[in-house]
Structure 1
Amino acid sequence: MNKVRESSVLYIAPLQEELDTAPLPPSSESFRDMPKAVCKQCKKSFPLQILTNHIKTCSDVVVVEDENQDEINNTTELSCLDNEVNDTEFSYMDNDWKTHPDPKMAADLYRKEIFRLHETGKPLLMCMDLRSGVEEQERQLINFYKQRHVEWACPVKCQLQGDAAVGDGVTRHFFFTVLEKLKYGFSLNLGNTGVTCLFEGEPDHLVPSSSQFLIESDLFLVAGRMLGHSFLHGGPCFAGLSRAFVHVLLQGSEDTATLQLEDCPDVDIRETIDLLSGHSPLNEDQSSKVLELCLSWDLPGPTEGNRRWLYERLLSHAVLGKRTRQIKQIRRGLKETFVWNLLNERKDVAFFPKESEDSCTPEMLLSHISWHRGDDEDDDDDDDEYSPDIKERITGYLKQFIETDVCWDTKTQ
């Protein structure tokens, strides 16, 4: 005969006082190290464990059921699975940035609003080991921006391992390095190219590389995150992009983009397209080159009647048509870093300045100076007037002067 097990209830009876079963307040020490998020209605920070219950009781909150609501990023607020910007967040922003007459001030106001909405988020830690090689440092940067489910508008902390520097100068160094690599290329050998350049072409005519390897590796999504993250934290902007490319990137129509022949980074293709710009009849060799290019892009061959139209179609495809996926990835990265709303509303903000409009920064000068090193062989010279310690101190003073005391309002020439 089987015995039936009966469930039992265990009661805890305090000897001297009643047990406190009231919910812990949000300020309790028990929640100190737990991830938090800001309630979009009352603007107060709550641990994620009690945020759902708070939303149900917070006044004037409309609770929207979402099948994806269970997925919560431990370092961020609730986010959509596709990492797109949640438009409802911007409904709680101060809109002074939309109407301010000065574009630069509008951008600063926008930054402050974004930071206010994310000030309680978990800080992002950016580390770079200066004792490692250049390629390893670049790999650290790329891996940082390849992370998924990151709230890029949260506070950022930068550390240079192997260097005693601290403070804002370290942050500026990080973002200057990021933008410099993005613009001039990474030393990492990605796709058997030696130097990996995400952008190619002449100054003020730069466009994303057409490398399929870079596209498939989502490196233009990384580029968009780098651009937006640098802008949010007061870092340098990306100067020198093609105006036509910027126009389309910011959702302008390809038909209204003002293209220039210099926007085409491939010199051979540029020369072939340029054959159609004149009025002289094409010889057999020229006609053959143009026809070959037209057929490769599913366009009709050249005739006297379609010459100008064909010139514009070929140039548009060479500059914009081959970069549709790159545009989508960069745009997505800008949305993830919360700067897309600004770019969409304020077309006058110089997010992508021309080379001539790019401000000179301390990092630009510092990166072109060959600094004294304590392990130089010349340090053993008995006739040297200054000791290595004095040289090091002088170098430190000069760095500090360049970073803090020099006026950087002038433009590069």
Structure 2
Amino acid sequence: MPASVPCQGHVPTPQTNDLLSFEEGGFADWEIEPDPAKAAKMFKDNILNLHATGKPLSLAMDLGDSAEDRERAILYFYKKAHVEWASTLTCTLKGDPAIGDGVTRHFFATIMSKLQHGFDVSFGPGGTLLFEGEKDHLIPSTSHFLLESDFFVVAGRMIGHSFLHDGPCLGGLSLAILHVLFNGSPEEATVDIKDCADLDICETIKLLDGTAELLSEEKHTINDLAMSWDLPRVTSENRRWLLDKLLLHAVLGRTSRQVKQLRRGLKETLIWPLVTERKDTIPILFPRMSDAQCTPQMVLDKINWPTQDEEEDSDVSLEDTCRITGFLRTFVENASPNILGKFVQFWVGWNVLPKQLDVEVVDSSFPKSSTCFHLLKLPGHYKEYSVFEREVHAAILSVDTGFGMV
């Protein structure tokens, strides 16, 4: 158990009564709102307001703990059963003076990053990676340990909880997995060969594609896989049929229990009525990786650049302000999507772009951010872009080890 164990509010789970009250209270505007993003926001606001008077949840991490213990604290928080996930949330970072909404954003950014890229907790070789495969073709891991430990229930709670608070979402899941997750029939799912995360199995299934005669060794490999899944041996007549059946089982058959757990976790966060009644909100909850990434133009369009009037009372000259803001523009324009996402996280607390990003050139030693106010503070002493770039990169790296605010 980690040195700092987060406390949580535990109450009976009045989900059925709450949802009845939700409907009787007339909060159905989200069902008829034409814009799915606005509909989702309306639904989430109503759910959170409905639970605003409940016992609050508290999530705490101690920055003096090891990275593994901090991860255990997160997992401990989401492993708890019978929790009202729509209750008010208070997040605390012990060992860091940061407070406010920026801390909450930092927590959700950390949680969803770990869910997307894997936890480092040593439960087994290679850490804990819950979703495997190519971008936009991710499927749940077939790890027996993760399944038996209800890690996918935990994942569902994390995804739904972050969504409730307008936080980062899990991007890149296979469309076939999403189809089944939201009660679609496996037989009606469109399964792509890229959805097969196991490379050995994928290569075996690919042997069935085409019309060229199979070699004896290739038939042996295919038959071994088919018989292990209670499917018939390959013949010239059943070749295409067998390819489809093997692919369906590799992607959906082997992950059916994981998907059920994921669905259960999502339902516990009370967002299920939204995503089942408004299917057009599902891409908001589970975006494509390409849609979820920040682009330089997206960031530049949000920046509120310093003006001459704002700099009249500043300790930094207009010349220095223009030079540093020019450096900032160059950095944003040339940053990779990964670095840009981390930069936005340093700036506002997570990699979800707000309506506006403020920037100020100040008399200080290093880049800082006030995430609650979406304010980036850049020192005005840099004369060379290379030095500016190096220190901004150093600031971005602080997000992985601490809050990155001080």
- TM-score (structure 1 length as normaliser): 0.70
- Among 63, 68, 85, which residue is 1:152 paired with? 85
Is 1:204 the counterpart of 2:136 in the alignment?
A: yes
Structure 1 segments, 4+ long, off by >6 Å, are: 83-86, 361-364
Paired residue for 1:194? Answer: 126
Displacement of 1:79 after TM fit?
2.8
Paired residue for 2:252? Answer: 320
**Shift in CA distance, 295/111, structure 1 to aligned 2, threshold 3 Å:** same
Paired residue for 1:279? Answer: 211
Paired residue for 2:240? Answer: 308
SS in 1 for 2:367: helix
- Among 375, 381, 395, which residue is 2:367 paired with? 395
Displacement of 1:91 after TM fit?
2.5
**Shift in CA distance, 251/85, structure 1 to aligned 2, threshold 3 Å:** farther
**5+ residue gaps, structure 2:** 1-7, 300-337, 347-362, 378-406
For residues 256 and 132 of structure 2, what CA distance do their matches in structure 1 show? 16
Displacement of 1:129 after TM fit?
1.1
For residues 364 and 235 of structure 1, what CA distance do their matches in structure 2 show? 19
**Shift in CA distance, 118/86, structure 1 to aligned 2, threshold 3 Å:** closer
> Do 1:138 and 1:188's aligned partners in 2 also have CA atoms closer than 8 Å?
yes
For residues 169 and 163 of structure 1, what CA distance do their matches in structure 2 show? 12
Is 1:353 the counterpart of 2:324 in the alignment?
A: no
For 1:5-16, list aligned pairs within 5 A.
none
Paired residue for 1:57? Answer: none
Letter in 2 for 1:403: H
For residues 71 and 343 of structure 2, what CA distance do their matches in structure 1 show? 19
**Shift in CA distance, 396/404, structure 1 to aligned 2, threshold 3 Å:** closer
- Among 38, 44, 51, which residue is 1:105 paired with? 38
Displacement of 1:99 after TM fit?
1.0
For residues 317 and 358 of structure 1, what CA distance do their matches in structure 2 show? 29
The structure where helix makes up a greater share of residues is 2
> Do 2:139 and 2:177's aligned partners in 1 also have CA atoms closer than 8 Å?
yes
For residues 177 and 268 of structure 1, what CA distance do their matches in structure 2 show? 32
**Shift in CA distance, 301/86, structure 1 to aligned 2, threshold 3 Å:** farther
Q: How many equivalent residue pairs?
A: 310
For residues 285 and 235 of structure 1, what CA distance do their matches in structure 2 show? 50
For residues 186 and 395 of structure 1, what CA distance do their matches in structure 2 show? 29
Letter in 1 for 2:213: P
Query: For residues 166-214 of structure 1, what are the alpha-carbon distances to aligned partners after superposition, in whole Å with 9 as ceiling and x for unaligned?
Result: 1111111100100000010011011x22321011111101011000100
For residues 238 and 277 of structure 2, what CA distance do their matches in structure 1 show? 38
Is 1:329 the counterpart of 2:261 in the alignment?
A: yes
> Do 1:239 and 1:358's aligned partners in 2 also have CA atoms closer than 8 Å?
yes
**5+ residue gaps, structure 1:** 1-72, 372-388, 407-413
For residues 50 and 373 of structure 2, what CA distance do their matches in structure 1 show? 33
Displacement of 1:102 after TM fit?
0.3
Q: Percent identity?
A: 48
Displacement of 1:401 after TM fit?
10
Query: For residues 370-389 of structure 1, what are the alpha-carbon distances to aligned partners after superposition, in whole Å with 9 as ceiling and x for unaligned?
Result: x9xxxxxxxxxxxxxxxxx9
> Do 2:92 and 2:103's aligned partners in 1 also have CA atoms closer than 8 Å?
yes
Displacement of 1:116 after TM fit?
1.8
Is 1:340 the counterpart of 2:272 in the alignment?
A: yes
- Among 245, 256, 269, which residue is 2:201 paired with? 269
Paired residue for 1:297? Answer: 229
For residues 340 and 17 of structure 2, what CA distance do their matches in structure 1 show? 36
SS in 2 for 1:320: helix
Displacement of 1:400 after TM fit?
5.0
**Shift in CA distance, 155/244, structure 1 to aligned 2, threshold 3 Å:** same
For residues 354 and 121 of structure 1, what CA distance do their matches in structure 2 show? 34
**Shift in CA distance, 365/135, structure 1 to aligned 2, threshold 3 Å:** farther
SS in 1 for 2:70: helix
> Do 2:132 and 2:139's aligned partners in 1 also have CA atoms closer than 8 Å?
yes
Task: Considering Cα pairs closer than 8 Å and 6+ residues apart, tell me whether 1 or 2 has the greater RCO.
Answer: 2
> Do 1:158 and 1:174's aligned partners in 2 also have CA atoms closer than 8 Å?
yes
Paired residue for 1:118? Answer: 51
**Shift in CA distance, 195/319, structure 1 to aligned 2, threshold 3 Å:** same
For residues 114 and 147 of structure 2, what CA distance do their matches in structure 1 show? 17
Displacement of 1:359 after TM fit?
4.6
What RMSD in Å do the two structures reach over aligned CA positions?
2.7
Letter in 2 for 1:396: K
Paired residue for 1:379? Answer: none
Letter in 1 for 2:57: L
- TM-score (structure 2 length as normaliser): 0.71
**Shift in CA distance, 74/158, structure 1 to aligned 2, threshold 3 Å:** closer
